[in-house]
Each structure stands twice: as C-alpha cells, then as structure tokens.
Structure 1
Amino acid sequence: MALSQSSWFHQGPMRRLSDTGSVINLTQPQPTSWVVLDSLKENVSQVAKHKVTPDAPSFASLKLRYTNSEKTANAIMRIYLQIPYTNTELEPPTTRASQASPFKPKELTIYQMLSEDPAYKETTQPEDNLQAIPGGFLIFVVWQL
C-alpha cells in the first residue's frame, strides 16, 4: 500500500524539514543557513523494485520557499528524499535500508554546470528505525532569487 504523498515530508522525522521556521544548514559552496517560509509543492515518484534504475529510484521531492538566516536573500529549495519501493513501506528498517542507493538529481548536475557556486547538500538519512530508507539519499538544492 503506497502512503499518501503528503506523508513523506509533513509527518514523522522529515517534518522538521518542512515546518515554517525550521532551519536547514547547507555545506556547499560554503556553510549557509536557510529558514523555511512555506511549503510549495511535493512530488512523489515511488516505483516498484523491478522498475528502479540508477536514474529513476523511488523518491519524494519537496519544493519550499526559504530566506537566509540574515533575512537578506530569498530562495527556493528542493529536497530529495529516497523512499521505499512500492509495497515495502511497512517492511522492517533493515529491509528498507537495503534499498539505499546513491542518486544525483539531474537538476543538481545541470545546476553545478551552470553555476560557479551552487548551494546544495548531499547527505544520507540517519540510520535509525524511523527513516523512510535508513542510509538512503537526502539531497538539498537551493536557487537564490
């Protein structure tokens, strides 16, 4: 049973990423802090295990409006979260963790080619029982407005 689209970011441990006033710290090209103003749009691309490819894993993305911590610049941020294959959402965490795989969104690759200093952070979900995919990708990409 696939979970509803809003559940990936607006409930559970990922909620802290989308709540108004939450702070996200990025590492590239230099450390910066961004404060959530509001959530704009969530997309879900959840696929069956036999349909997964390196370019098309199961993931959810969330587009948010942010301001920097000094409130001198506004930005749009997209967060990519690896999610379980269809019908494996309730499997044990170790089973879900076996689905962890590297991924780089095409828009991040293009952004890195077009910008001298793209703001982003590539990390993984914590390895605990609460995550969608323990050890799965968690990527943040920021476009300053």
Structure 2
Amino acid sequence: MESTLKWFSEGPMKGTYVRNAIIKTSHPVPLKWKITAIINEHDHQIYQAELDRDKDVFSCATTRLRCTRLDDPSTIAEMRVYLQVPYSGMEYDRIQRRAQQEEIYEPSELRAYKKLTRHGPTQTFTPRLLGYSEDKQGPTGWVPGGFLVTVVWERVSGESLALRLKDRNSLFWELPLEKRNLIREMFVQQLANMARLGVMLHRPTARNLVFDRRAERLYWVGFYNAKVTRGARFNKSLIAAFDLAKPPAGSQIWRAASWSGDLSGWGL
C-alpha cells in the first residue's frame, strides 16, 4: 500500500514514512526501525471551531506501519505516527500563522502502553512498548513546532479470535469447549487486572483478542483511542461484548452493573 494522505506523501513529510525508510525512537533508549509495510492511514483534520467546542480533540493525521528493529530484524513490531496538521482551510497559510497552532499531545495509545508495560500483571498479556518519541516538527513542517509522536509496540503471536472460519463462525467458536473455557477463564482474570490499572480498549470486540494456540496464551491488542483512567470497576458483561459467551435470548440481566456473572443458560 502506498501512502495516500497528503500529510505523509506530500510536502515536508514526503519520503519519510515509506517502505525501507529508517525511523528513530528516543525512549526508553535510542533505537532505529526499518519500515516493512504501510498498514493504514487516517485523516483527523478538524476545523478550528471544533477545537473551541471540545478541548480534547486535535487536528492530526496518523499512519500505522509494520517495522523491524534495525539491529535485530527478528524483532517485528507495529508503529503508529501522530502528526499535527493545520486546521481545515489553513493548510497553505503562511508558516508563521500555522506555527501559532502548535500543540503538545500525548496520545492515549502511548499512555496506555506506558502503563501496561510497567505493570507486572498486564505486561504478560498485552504488547510491550518497545520505543517512542515525542518530537516537534521542524520549521518547514505542516505545523512548525507541532507534535510528531511515534509509538512502537510488540507484535504478538497468535490469531485474532474474530477471524472468520467455516459456517460463518469466528475462530473462538471453532475451538473445542475446553479451549473456550480456558480462554474465558484467562479473559476474566485479565479483565480484572485491566480495570484495576485503569486501561480499557475503545469499543472492545473479539478483534481485540489474539490467542496463541501453541503457547495457550491470550493477548489483548488494539489500544488506539484507549481509555486511560486511575482505575475502574470491572464488569463481567464484557464477556458478551467480546463474543466469548452468548446470553440467553431476550435476557437483559447481564447488562446490569449488579450482575453476578453467572453464566447458567448461556451458550458456551
């Protein structure tokens, strides 16, 4: 896939985030990464009026890349770059005016990986943060002095539980019952640890779970736009949101915060 967004394919960023390019990260130690594939790109450019209404939005573009560590090609990783871009309609204003839009921004994805990697229980079932940089764009950037954040995390082994197989079922429902029971047990334990830490996925589904059959390990992935708080109550009802069990037809009891987590009568 070639770069399609003007922010990464044109102007000051041209040729920077392309296959075989070398990208540096500075924390926790300086490292170099070789891009092997462009996975996706998203444009989050906004009008200035939107910023006035919501202080938590930023005008930016992101690109997700696959990469390898330059001094150790066996280390395969995922990278996302957050680039501040001018407000809509101001892309080609004078540099001095664009520079006035400069913002400091720490993506929730980076905050989530920092917490997950430092915390003993969660670092065993989430991708490790391998490197990051919180840089500023140069004087000829789209927004001179604006944020340019790079996040690199471990690529875990296994298959997505949402992977569609025969009979239109997901991978999870193609596994034998003993494997499904094991996954549910691991899921509930991991969910409790995630809640205590205060990190939760954005709109979680089975796509956020990866199962390594050989090692019998369950991983949580996809922390883009993660919710990061000081801690939260964990709710077993997420077992249905992740499609790890099917509630009885017409039942709504499991949606209540007081639900005990009893799976009697559920499809397992």
Does TM, scored on the shorter chain, surpass 0.5? yes
Could you tell me which residue of structure 2 aligns to residue 59 of structure 1?
60
1:111-143 Cα deviation digits (max 9, x unpaired): 111113731100100023xx1101100000001
1:23-38 alignment to 2 at 5 Å? 23-38=22-37
Could you tell me which residue of structure 2 aligns to residue 103 of structure 1?
105
User: 2 CA distance for matches of 1:79 and 1:8?
Assistant: 11
One-letter identity of the residue aligned with 1:28? H
For the pair 1:126 / 2:138, whether they are aligned, the reply is: yes
Structure 2 counterpart of 1:142, from 132, 149, 152: 152
User: 1 CA distance for matches of 2:56 and 2:151?
Assistant: 17
Aligned residues: CA RMSD: 1.4
Tell me how far 1:12 sits from its aligned partner.
2.4
User: 2 CA distance for matches of 1:138 and 1:18?
Assistant: 12
Higher helix content, 1 or 2: 2
Unaligned stretches of 5+ residues in structure 2 = 119-127, 156-268
- Is 109-118 or 74-83 further displaced after alignment? 109-118
1:6-61 Cα deviation digits (max 9, x unpaired): 11112222133311111111111111110011111001111111211442110000
* TM-score, normalization by structure 2: 0.50
Q: Which runs of 4+ in 1 moved over 3 A?
A: none
Of all paired residues, the percent bearing the same amino acid is 32
Contact 2:33 2:68 survives alignment (8 Å):
yes
Which structure's CA Rg is the greater one? 2
Q: Secondary structure, in 3 states, of the residue corresponding to 1:101?
A: coil
User: 2 CA distance for matches of 1:92 and 1:113?
Assistant: 39
User: 2 CA distance for matches of 1:86 and 1:11?
Assistant: 16
Unaligned stretches of 5+ residues in structure 1 = none
With a CA cutoff of 8 Å and minimum separation of 6, indicate the structure with the bigger relative contact order. 1
Tell me how far 1:90 sits from its aligned partner.
1.2
* TM-score, normalization by structure 1: 0.90
User: 2 CA distance for matches of 1:109 and 1:36?
Assistant: 23
One-letter identity of the residue aligned with 2:22? V
